[in-house]
């Protein structure tokens, strides 16, 4: 199921990129006054703005749904979903009592 959602997510991302690059910007209408307005009649009198805007909104909503579902899948498969094991506080170790130099086991006793 996760692989299926991932494939749909990638397809939606590519479609959104292509669809957004196809759309005209707000400054593109100024170029129509110089003779470039004939291409807008393909989608009817209102142009392609309404159709492409609605399609972009639908693809964006689906992209968000797949993003959230992939995040849920990732959380379910995580070893530590909340990440609290790394933050666990360990008990501090009490320091050892200092040893006096007279009874140090490392120094051999010398008799004179």
| 31-44 pLDDT per residue, tens | 555 655 555 555 55
Q: Is residue 14 part of a domain?
A: yes
Question: pTM for the whole thing?
Answer: 0.56
For residue 72, give Cα distances in angstroms to 8, 24, 66, 68, 78: 16, 36, 10, 6, 10
Domain region containing 68:
1-24+49-79
| Closest-CA residue to 20 (of 73, 57, 71) | 57
Q: Is residue 34 part of a domain?
A: no
Phi-psi region of 108 (alpha: psi -120 to 50; beta: other; left: phi over 0): beta
Q: Is residue 40 part of a domain?
A: no
- Which pair of structure tokens corresponds to residue 32? 């129509």
Query: Helix or strand or coil: residue 101?
Result: coil
Q: Is residue 58 part of a domain?
A: yes
User: Residue ranges of the chain with pLDDT lower than 50?
Assistant: none
Q: Is residue 3 part of a domain?
A: yes
* Number of domains making up the chain: 1
């Amino acid at each position: 199921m996760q692989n299926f959602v991932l494939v749909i997510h990638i397809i939606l991302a590519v479609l959104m990129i292509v669809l957004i690059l196809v759309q005209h910007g707000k400054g593109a209408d100024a170029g129509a006054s110089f003779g470039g307005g004939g291409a807008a009649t393909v989608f009817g009198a209102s142009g392609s703005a309404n159709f492409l805007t609605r399609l972009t909104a639908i693809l964006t909503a689906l992209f968000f749904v797949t993003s959230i579902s992939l995040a849920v899948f990732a959380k379910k498969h995580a070893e530590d979903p909340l990440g609290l094991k790394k933050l666990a506080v360990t008990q501090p170790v009490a320091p050892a009592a200092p040893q006096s130099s007279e009874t140090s086991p490392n120094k051999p006793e010398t008799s004179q």
